[in-house]
Every structure is written in structure tokens, then in C-alpha cells.
A and B are shown apart, each in its own frame.
Chain A
Amino acid sequence: KAGVTQTPRYLIKTRGQQVTLSCSPISGHRSVSWYQQTPGQGLQFLFEYFSETQRNKGNFPGRFSGRQFSNSRSEMNVSTLELGDSALYLCASSLDSPQRNEQFFGPGTRLTVL
């Protein structure tokens, strides 16, 4: 089975711009989660989607949003970029089962905001 894929792998933007990141989960996985990783804050949960619905949300401002499509692919959008949004954005997918909550991560998108 192919793993989780994320595009693009690297992105450079300037302050005030917006960005859209894409994630394709492992085939058969319907839950997709997004995480932000920075040197200062570590790995932080952004949100989780299941069946096109946001099921869980972390403590991030409304500039961070996401969506999931009927094929379980997910996108996240960050509007009005700030320097502090520079980070590695990781997507993870899992089966929808509390007993089998292994989450499998993609390679990440490295976002640099100048």
C-alpha cells in the first residue's frame, strides 16, 4: 500500500499571503489529521477530519482551516501568513477505530514564511 503523501514538499511564501497544502491518506483510511511542528512548540495538533467533517480541533487561530473530500483527501489552508507560521506541517491518516489508532504520517510540507 502506498503511504501518506503530501504536496508540495517545500513552499516559500511571504507574509500576508495564503497557502494550501494537500494530503492523500493511505487507501482505506478515512481519518486525516494535521499537525504543525516547530522547534519552539514541538508537534501540535491542528485538526482532524472524518467523512468530510471536522471532528476535532486544536488551539489554532481561525486563519488555519481545512477540509476533506469524499475520497478522504484533505487540504489545509493558512490565510494571512505570519512569520511564526513557518513550520513543518504533517498530515497523518488512520483507520476509524478507537482500538486501532495507529496514525501514519506523511513526509510533511516545509513552509517558510519570509
Chain B
Amino acid sequence: SQQGEEDPQALSIQEGENATMNCSYKTSINNLQWYRQNSGRGLVHLILIRSNEREKHSGRLRVTLDTSKKSSSLLITASRAADTASYFCATDRGGSNYKLTFGKGTLLTVNP
């Protein structure tokens, strides 16, 4: 079953605008990761945030985590056409269990 649920399912913006995607999950987690996938290709790792962290930055990416609400958000600032892709959040429960549980993803379209 899917633990993460991304919101919205699809997002269309203009180049230069910011894009915000949300992810909710159901059980306690150890880490939450965000991935990008260009059409039908492999997943590209974007950022990992641990359960004891609240915010993390990487370049134009900003991720927040609210464990009390079991939710995370991914903000892409100053978006580019090349950011067009599907974005997935994935959670793990830690320990020796390396299984990632993915949401269904948000399809982001950045129009030039």
C-alpha cells in the first residue's frame, strides 16, 4: 500500500514561478526523501530529511517536515522548463528495513 500521498497530483506553472508539492504519510518514519523522475526514466535523488529535522535546503530546493502532521513539502524556487518531471516522496521506517514506500507523485509542468 502507498504510505505517501502527494498533493497536488498535477501542477502547471510558468517558468520563474515557485512550485510547492506536499506529501502526507501515515506511520512513523525514520527518513523522508524526495525524488524526481523524467518521463519513464529512473528516479533521481533530490534530498533526504531525517525525522528529527524540520527543514533542509539544497540549491533551489527547500524541504520541510512536520512529523506531528505527518507531512512534508518540497518547494522549488525560480522554476525552469527543465524541472518538468514527476516528483515523489518516499519514506522509510529505519533500522534494518531499507524499504522505501512511495506516494503516487506530483506531475509538475513548467511552461517556458
**Interchain residue pairs with CB less than 8 A apart (25):** A33-B99, A35-B102, A42-B2, A42-B102, A42-B103, A42-B105, A43-B102, A45-B99, A45-B100, A50-B98, A56-B98, A88-B40, A90-B43, A98-B94, A101-B33, A101-B92, A101-B94, A102-B48, A103-B90, A103-B98, A103-B100, A105-B43, A105-B44, A106-B42, A108-B42
Is B96 a contact of A98 with CB atoms below 8 Å? yes
| A-B CB proximity, top 4 nearest | A43-B102, A105-B43, A107-B42, A105-B42
Number of interface residues of A (CB under 8 A): 28
- Inside 8 A of B99's CB, which chain A residues have their CB? 33, 45, 48, 56, 58
Complex Cα spacing A47 to B83, Å: 30
Number of interface residues of B (CB under 8 A): 28
Number of A-B contacts (CB under 8 A): 69
* Binary contact track B88-112/A, C-beta < 8 Å → 1, others 0: 1010101111111111110000000
Cβ 8 A contact of A110, one of B33, B40, B96: B40
Complex Cα spacing A48 to B88, Å: 20
Cβ 8 A contact of B101, one of A45, A48, A90, A98: A45
A63 at the interface (CB under 8 A from B): no
A55 at the interface (CB under 8 A from B): yes
Min CB distance, A67 to chain B, in Å? 17
Is B42 a contact of A98 with CB atoms below 8 Å? no
Nearest CB in chain B to that of A3: its residue? B42
Min CB distance, B38 to chain A, in Å? 10
Is A33 a contact of B98 with CB atoms below 8 Å? yes
Min CB distance, B57 to chain A, in Å? 16
